[in-house]
Amino acid sequence: MMNKIKYSLCLLLVVGVLVSLCACGEPVNNPTEPTGSEAATEPTGTTGTEVSTEPTGTEVSTEPTQAPTDPVVNENSVGVYRCTYMRITGETEYQESPDGYGIDIYEDGTAMIYVADCLLDLSWKVEGDQFTATTVDGSDLSMEGTIKDDILEVTFDGMDLRFEKKSQQELADEAVEFLRFMMEDTPQQFAVAYLGWKESDEDLQKVMNERCPNLLGSNPFISMIPEERIFGNKGEIYCVVPNDPDINITIRRLQDAPNVEDMVKEVLYEGKLGEPFFLLANEGDFYQDTQVIFTDSEGNQTLWYPMTDQYYTAHIPDNEDGELLGYDFSYYNEIYPYGYNLWMRDGWDWVEEDYLTKTVWSRYFEMVHGDAYAGYTWTMDLSEDGTLKIHLIDEMETETLASYTGTWQVTELDAYSGLLLDMTCTQNNAPMELPDVIADEYVILRATDVDNLLLGIRDGQKSNLMVTEEDHYCSVWFGAVG
């Protein structure tokens, strides 16, 4: 894998072609030349009276020797670094780094470097100004160099790399620019992230920190939105990023009224607003109680009523050609506990009890025995009286290897339907380990076009019987017998 990285880096250095923003995933503003005390062609990272031509990590400092810092963690080193210059070790001149190359250094002594198309996990430590790190994937690659004044200069796998630490404001600006890049050449006038529900007495920042830390980590600007750009105090939380910094926005609070002209209850904002803002909507009995009008500098207008659709995701309006007029950057797997809402968007729906009792459900799977595969089938028979029979059948021998009997019930599991099972094993000659008793609740959804069931485990739930951790998305499919 690292040969691939070296090949990619060398090729980039020879041809001098920057990786496109679309490929890198995040736009980065790189300087055209080193600044400060750096030489015109080589950033050396030297300080004081030091003279060096290469950042080798072994420079002799004129400063007093410091005792090694214990612990692995040095708070001043923690942060997000972007690679600005690189060269093949032994060459004299640096080249500008392609966008998207960087290293994230975490407080727990771990780090992640992203180079070319590869991500590598590292373990790191700092002693004085000396920075060392090693990969943890068994490849035994090491990184050595110096870290000082938010500059990290290291040698790694035949490359000399120079990283600069980014401030939270710089990372926030990058995230906003990335969202606007994703909306380029589209009719989309805004990006929106849905963050769930907030009560009036809850602290917005605390709610976000607890509910969607990954969304905030990727989009630091969300935590920087000032009080004056927060509209509302209760309801569904939407973080909105206008595509045009000079766009005009009107935010109206509506009320249920017999005449359209009487619907406007209050104007929350009207004027130019090109920065990210929060909007809390739909707090009462009247759904769609907020209207937002975006008007760009060319007079193009988008009308948006913030709300969630039948799949519990942010509603995005579209135009006459079916093109979306907004860009959704929500992290739904954080908002919803189990992340199955996207299955619902793809044609899966809640399950009713009478749907489950109309047929016997089966699931076929294979297991390896020596050099051969053996086929097995789980059958699930759910009766109207709330009892169940589940059997494991050997497809080759057509014999029953294991059986469970018990009770079942359809439940409401947050945004999904659930299947509560309480059953005991009455026969067990299975070639795999099976529990004696199963009393657990699973997410259960049905396809709307064919008779298929999706049975899935929840976050942190240990799988058993028909659902295993090895199954895709921790879910299994059942089809109707016959």
Run of H or E including 12: helix 2-15
At the second CATH level, the architecture of 349-480 is Beta Barrel (2.40)
Name the token pair of 113: 């470097």
* pTM as predicted: 0.60
Residue 224 CA, distance from chain mean position? 20
96-99 contact pairs (CB < 8 A, 24+): 96/18, 96/30, 96/32, 97/30, 97/161, 97/162, 98/12, 98/18, 98/19, 98/24, 99/18, 99/19, 99/20, 99/21, 99/24, 99/26, 99/27, 99/28, 99/30
Residue 427 CA, distance from chain mean position? 43
What is residue 457's DSSP assignment? P
Residue 470 sits at φ, ψ, to 5 deg, of: -80, -15
Contact 147, 77 (CB under 8 A): yes
**Strand ranges in 97-141 using DSSP code E only, listed in sequence order:** 102-105, 110-115, 118-127, 130-135
CA 471/CA 175 separation, integer angstroms: 34
Radius of gyration, alpha carbons of the chain: 29
Is the domain spanning 2-59+68-166 CATH 1.20.140? The answer is no
CA 248/CA 298 separation, integer angstroms: 11
Residue 180: what residue type?
Answer: R
CA 477/CA 479 separation, integer angstroms: 7
Run of H or E including 21: helix 21-24
CA 209/CA 203 separation, integer angstroms: 10
Picking from 145, 140, 142, the residue whose alpha carbon sits closest to that of residue 161 is 145
CA 407/CA 423 separation, integer angstroms: 6
Q: Where in the chain is the domain with CATH 2.40.160?
A: 2-59+68-166
Contact 409, 314 (CB under 8 A): no
Q: pLDDT tens digits for the chain (482 residues)?
A: 444 444 444 444 333 333 333 333 333 333 333 333 333 334 333 333 343 334 344 343 344 444 333 434 456 789 999 999 999 998 888 888 877 789 999 999 999 998 766 788 999 999 999 999 998 877 778 999 999 999 999 999 888 999 999 999 999 999 999 999 999 999 999 999 999 889 999 999 999 998 888 899 899 999 999 999 999 999 999 999 999 999 999 999 998 877 777 788 999 999 999 999 999 999 876 678 999 999 998 899 999 999 987 667 899 999 999 999 999 999 887 777 566 766 776 678 889 899 999 899 998 877 776 667 788 888 999 999 999 999 999 988 789 999 999 999 999 876 678 899 999 999 999 888 888 988 888 888 898 888 888 887 766 565 555 554 444 345 566 777 75
CA 164/CA 81 separation, integer angstroms: 5
Name the token pair of 211: 């509910």
For residue 347, give every residue at least 6 positions away whose Cβ sits within 8 Å of its Cβ, in sequence order, or none.
Answer: 447, 448, 449
Q: Where in the chain is the domain with CATH 2.40.128?
A: 349-480
How many CB atoms are located within 10 Å of the residue 83 CB? 24
Name the token pair of 334: 């954080």
CA 452/CA 362 separation, integer angstroms: 10
